[in-house]
Copies of this chain bind each other. A is one copy, B any other.
Amino acid sequence: MTFANVGTLGTQPGQLDAVVAILTRPNPALAEAGCLLYEVGTSQDQPDTVFVTELWTSAAAHQQSLQLASVREAIAEAMPLLTGEMSGFQYDVVDSPLRD
């Protein structure tokens, strides 16, 4: 079942672009691990917040991806640039009005 992981990450002042750059660095290993969608964005209303929306083939695929070397390296690189403030939610996709 497709699994959604959606969230926000607080960034240290002035570090928004640096965190976005880390998270959007091309990484084919993600798709190989079952990542279907991984969108990173920002909002003028929240200048120190990075937004992430992910879809995975399963919750297990998402969980296992956190063990990928490339993912662990990205997290380690981004961690000092983050405030630790995080929000979001995870859920199982049921369906879409875009699909018959």
Residues of chain A having any CB pair with chain B under 8 Å: 2, 4, 6, 8, 20, 23-27, 30-31, 35, 37-44, 46, 51, 53, 55, 89-100
Determine the residue in chain B with the shortest Cβ distance to A22. B97
Determine the residue in chain B with the shortest Cβ distance to A39. B93
From B27, B42, B92, contact of A43 by CB (8 A): B92
- Are B93 and A40 in contact, CB atoms less than 8 angstroms apart? yes
- Are A23 and B53 in contact, CB atoms less than 8 angstroms apart? no
User: How many copies, total?
Assistant: 2
Given contacts A4-B41, A55-B39, A23 and B97 within 8 Å (CB-CB): yes
Which chain B positions have C-beta within 8 A of A41? 2, 4, 91-94
Which chain B positions have C-beta within 8 A of A42? 91-92, 94
- Are A97 and B38 in contact, CB atoms less than 8 angstroms apart? yes
Which of A8, A35, A44, A89 has the largest number of chain B CB atoms within 10 A? A89
